[in-house]
A and B are shown apart, each in its own frame.
Chain A
Amino acid sequence: MPSEQPPPVGSAPSPSRLSPRPARVDPYLERYATRARGMVASEIRALFAVAARPEVVSLAGGMPYIPALPLDAVGEMAAQLVADRGAVALQYGSGQGDPGLREGICDVMALEGIRAHPDEIVVTVGSQQALDLLTRIFVDPGDVVLAEGPSYVGALGTFASYEASVVHVPMDDQGLIPAALAETISRLAAGGRRPKFLYTCPSFHNPAGVTLGRPRRAAVLDLCQRAGLPVVEDNPYGLLGFGGEPERALRADDPDGVIYLGTFSKTIAPGLRVGWALAPPGVRDKLVLAAESAVLCHSSLAQLMVREYLASQPWREQVKVFRELYRERRDAMLDALAASMPEGCRWTTPGGGFYVWLGLPAGVDAKAMLPRAIAGRVAYVPGTGFYAGGQGGDHLRLSYCFPEPSRIREGVRRLADVIAAEVDLRSTFGPSRYRPTLTVPPSSPVSSITYPTSSTSPISVTSSITSHTSLSSPTTSTSQEAAGPAGLVDPAGGVQNLPDAAAADPVP
């Protein structure tokens, strides 16, 4: 212990030097827009700061595995580009994007059955900016946007920033449920509300990992055509299927009713920030004006790099390399899940893309469990981030795209231990004496809404109980009911604001 003599108690400096005025630290506080109110520090964000450390196996962010790119060749290509065309590559460009790149984009989309003209395309800063611009030109505060439940967190964040009201439409293992979509449209119409558009990620969905079945694609398009509802098709993973040919895009079958969003973030590299929107002429014109207003023009260097990459590099072969790599990692994750997940867990089997959607044992809350997971050196994204209204706590998203298979297996093993400990904790504080209020009780409408015309099961199709047996009906077993639409359906079927998504953590 220090040997100093005790100082006089209350030896503070003279108050005369001190200011009695309160400090709120941020001098701009009174000037922020109302929509900035939700932008506050969050514990989840703090935990993700730890997840970025190498000691933690992060199954959270959907980062493409860039080391698989031929980086030397890309580097040489970039150097040559600047040497040969630097005066153009480092100059301002047009708001619509480089014409040569737009021709290349048409070739890429042709793989999904889309026939498009370069003039219909607007290049954007990733497809995220396309989504932002679309929302800007379509949505006034309070307007309704339909989105799958769950939906991509970045889309929900964009909708929140424009103060849209999101209504989730449930999915199952075949993607968006057409009957539920029809019911939602009708219900909103009965209330005098007309959604501005349907936002959907039909192939290898983020976060659910499922793909809209072919019969359903036609049904969804038909419903939207009849309702006069534009479809925004977000398709970042369409070329990353593990089966045969790519799924035919919705846009391929409805050029007037579908606005298509694409990106090179997954097939080349996200650091380039090059995406695009393919839209009917009227929408395209407004997108160009909105893009010019937002960024004046996009990076000419990045656009020309992508254009050159498409022209000079074996990009189709590279996509196959990515597909094979991600398939191997998907398999590693599915095998590890089957080997180690405790009873009550169930998960999707993605046919492509980056993600597995994991349902938790009854009563376990993914958000509340996250600090324990981080302490156990594994990270995931709680399901609540993928809903506008705070649902989804009974699910979490796992990504397998970045970690090596051995790391995936280790991460899943750690996660299994964390879930098992969480189950034990929940049983300790279970409902026999004290009823938890964080989780959705079984009697909630969340789990009681069913759509009898759906021919397939809700989204959780694989379970540690059923050993990878697809569940055939939402009501065939108690465990199925627990795994049912909870977390996939907007419980009130109502219009939701976006408190969670407004401060969404930056996970791709």
Chain B
Amino acid sequence: MSDLGHVLVLAGGLSAERAVSLRSGDRIRDALCDAGVEAVIADADAALIPAITADPPAAVFPAIHGACGEDGSIREVLALLDVPYVGSTASASRSAYDKPTAKAVLGAAGVCTPASVTLPRETFHDLGAGAVLERVVARLGLPLFIKPARGGSALGATRVLTEAELPNAMMGCFGYGDTALVEQYVSGTEVAVSVLDLGDGPQALPAVEIQPVGGGSYDYAARYTAGQTEFYTPARLPADVAAQVAGVAVTAHRVLGLRDLSRTDLIVSGDDVFFLEVNVAPGMTETSTLPMALAAAGLDLGVTCRELLLRAVARAGLPWR
């Protein structure tokens, strides 16, 4: 066992990404145990605060995806409990989790991101969906990509090729959140670039190229069914483009004030690199890209997670924690 003491891996939550989170949490816990760390899983429920209070862990590794896990709320609670944790602060998580906010921040930093509009459900109700969508199409054209402004795992996300498909896409989106992000659809190579900071500043790991089998979309089934998607690590990109995607991911990590680790999803279209979104609690399942990138970089998942926990412990007490 390491001298870290016992740690908690937070997994589960009540968002639609609960099942994914539980798989991520299991994998992190197992990897930590293999690395000699005494790690146990805890859910974000009414038992969490009493458990932490009764037996404070050395540190917490949040692996809850979606709301609660990535919107900053659980990290705010951990800060209230004075428990060191891996990953971004609550305020940085909030900015990153809200896709329109993250896009605006990245846009201001000079990064390309698909043109988009952000509209809450009430707007369609109050002003009339037909009139609003007509203007959206007039402004952005087709095809479009509809997704919840806050969420993950492609839940509620739909590519829209024709105007007639828009209402169902919007309703599907509003199943997972009250605000929709409507983006111009950019075709190209989808890549995920993880960023890791082990003390030498944020470093981009090898980009992972994502290619759903059969040319379909990278939807929930394609993400979490082994074999539904082919992953190329490193991505089959020219050296200058590979450097560019790495740069965008590091930029996203920096300008959003993220900490320890993040994963940025991008589209490479011709010579252009488009920022789509960034995740502060990246998936760690067997089909997730961050562990693939770690492996490609020659890094062990458990050892890396242990290093991140040690960093969290070391910075405990810093005023910005």
Residues on A lying within 8 angstroms of B by beta carbon are 1-2, 4-7, 9-13, 15, 17-26, 29, 39-43, 45-47, 49-50, 53, 55-56, 368-372, 374-375, 424-426, 428-430, 432-438
Contacts and interface: CB of A to CB of B under 8 A. Distances in A.
A217 B79 CA distance: 66
B175 A371 contact: yes
Contacts of A20: 232, 234, 236
Interface string B40-74: 00000100000000000000000000000000000
Given A41-B224, A428-B129, A434-B133, A22 B230 contact: yes
Interface in B217-267: 220-221, 223-234, 236, 242-247, 250-251, 254, 257, 259
B82 to A, nearest CB: 20
B243 A10 contact: yes
B203 A429 contact: no
Interface of B: 14-20, 22, 45, 92, 121, 124-125, 128-131, 133, 153, 155-156, 163-168, 170-172, 174-176, 197, 200-207, 211, 213, 220-221, 223-234, 236, 242-247, 250-251, 254, 257, 259, 286-287, 292, 296-298
Nearest to A28: B227
B305 to A, nearest CB: 18
13 contacts: A12-B297, A20-B232, A25-B231, A42-B220, A46-B153, A55-B45, A372-B175, A375-B16, A433-B129, A434-B166, A437-B164, A437-B165, A438-B171
Given A42-B220, A425-B174, A12 B232 contact: no
A337 B165 CA distance: 33
The 5 closest A-B CB pairs, nearest first, are: A433-B130, A10-B243, A9-B247, A26-B226, A49-B19
Task: Tell me if A's interface is mostly helix, strand, loop or mixed.
Answer: loop
Contact of A434 (B19, B164, B225): B164
B226 A24 contact: yes
A19 to B, nearest CB: 7
Contact of A426 (B171, B201, B225, B232): B171
Nearest to B148: A371
Given A437-B164, A438-B168, 16 more contacts: A1-B254, A2-B254, A20-B234, A24-B213, A24-B229, A25-B286, A26-B227, A29-B226, A41-B220, A46-B17, A46-B18, A46-B155, A53-B45, A428-B129, A429-B170, A437-B165
Contacts of A41: 220-221, 223-225
Given A6-B201, A7-B203, A49-B18, A25 B297 contact: no
B172 A368 contact: yes
A24 B246 contact: no
A380 to B, nearest CB: 14
B16 A9 contact: no
A506 to B, nearest CB: 13
Task: Find the residue from B197, B226, B230 having the highest chain A CB count within 10 A.
Answer: B226
A103 B83 CA distance: 62
Contacts of A5: 201
A2 B257 contact: yes
A450 B193 CA distance: 57
Contacts of B45: 53, 55
Contacts of A15: 206, 234
A437 B158 CA distance: 14
A428 B125 contact: yes
Given A6-B201, A23-B230, A434-B166, A12 B175 contact: no
Contacts of B197: 2, 4
Contacts of B227: 24-26, 29
A435 B19 CA distance: 33
A491 to B, nearest CB: 19
Contacts of B156: 371
A18 B293 CA distance: 10
Contacts of A40: 221, 225, 228
Contacts of A429: 124, 129, 167-168, 170-171
A429 B119 CA distance: 14
Contacts of B167: 429, 434-436
A18 B15 CA distance: 35
A41 B154 CA distance: 13
B18 A10 contact: no
Task: Find the residue from B230, B236, B245, B286 having the highest chain A CB count within 10 A.
Answer: B230
Contact of A12 (B165, B223, B226, B242): B242
Contacts of A10: 204, 242-247
A136 B161 CA distance: 43
A370 B156 CA distance: 12
Contact of B246 (A9, A21, A29, A434): A9
Given A12-B206, A29-B226, A22 B211 contact: yes
Contacts of A375: 16, 176
B165 A18 contact: no
Nearest to B240: A10
Nearest to A429: B167
Task: Find the residue from A17, A21, A22, A47 having the highest chain B CB count within 10 A.
Answer: A22
A6 B250 contact: yes
A436 B168 contact: yes
A24 B18 contact: no
A255 B155 CA distance: 51
A434 B169 CA distance: 11
B202 to A, nearest CB: 6
Nearest to A437: B168
Given A369-B175, A438-B168, A23 B292 contact: yes
A324 to B, nearest CB: 33
Contacts of B247: 9-10
Nearest to B203: A11
Contacts of B121: 425, 428
Given A2-B257, A49-B22, A17 B220 contact: no
Contacts of B202: 4, 7
A15 to B, nearest CB: 6
A311 B242 CA distance: 73
Given A12-B207, A428-B129, A434-B133, A371 B296 contact: no
B164 A25 contact: no
B286 to A, nearest CB: 6
Contacts of A6: 201, 250, 254
A70 B228 CA distance: 48
Contacts of B297: 12-13, 17-18
A47 to B, nearest CB: 6
A409 to B, nearest CB: 22
Contacts of B254: 1-2, 6
Contacts of A49: 18-19, 22
Contact of B14 (A7, A29, A53, A368): A53
B298 A368 contact: no
A313 to B, nearest CB: 36
B142 to A, nearest CB: 14
Contacts of B242: 10, 12
